[in-house]
Amino acid sequence: MYGRIVEPIRVAEAVAASAAFPLLLPAVQRTYTFERRGRTQRQRVALTDGGVYDNLGLSVLESGRDRAFTDHVYPVDYVIASDAGRQEPGESNARVLPFRLMRSFDITYRGTQDGTRARLHNSAGPGQFQGVVHAYLGQKDDKLPMAAPGLVPLERVNGYPTNFKAMKDEDLGAVTTRGEQLTRLLLHHYTPALLG
């Protein structure tokens, strides 16, 4: 049955679940009350990182979803997605089995993400979204639709470590500044009406 969760959900729980990468960390398990079509039911659920399936979390916004099958159908005019993914380095050390397995996973993951990005960009048009802005941290600077004076360069953010250690202040500053710069630039280019 499932449906809509009745209780408030703390942001900290969502963040913890998002960090629960299935191969390394256990899922966050919670029991919630779900309401659907006037009926309620308590269910225990295991929440884990959905990044391999839908890293941007946009599948609930895609057109064609039907309330007969899910309560999560939302009318949306614009989508602004911020993606902290990095640019593919190009080289691979997949010569021995463990690295080949990791590389296979990485290729599958990137293929899934590329499909999501393609659907997102193709959904801007009549009958779907009025506009889509996808600020991708790993976007190549020379491929931007317009000049970006003062832009934090891709090389500055593409190599920051993605581990469980706290980010250095300078890395965090570079990543967040570039993300904001890209978002503003792309809003200005693709959806200037949103800027007023």
**HSE (CB half, 13 Å, CA atoms) of 37?**
6
> For the chain, what is the mean pLDDT?
82
CA distance 73 to 67: 6
Question: What's the pTM value of the predicted model, to 2 decimals?
Answer: 0.71
Q: Select, from the ranges 51-65, 112-126, 137-151, 160-174, the one with the highest average predicted confidence (pLDDT).
A: 137-151
Mean pLDDT to the nearest integer, 61-66 = 74
Task: Convert the pLDDT of each residue in 72-89 to its tens digit.
Answer: 777 788 888 888 776 666
Q: Which helix (H) or strand (E) holds 113?
A: helix 97-122
pLDDT of residue 54: 67
87-143 pLDDT per residue, tens: 666 666 667 777 777 777 777 777 777 787 788 778 777 767 888 888 988 889 999
Task: Supply the pLDDT for residue 94.
Answer: 67
pLDDT, residue 86, reads 64
177, two tokens:
């500044």
DSSP 8-state symbol, 4: E
86's tokens: 């990095």
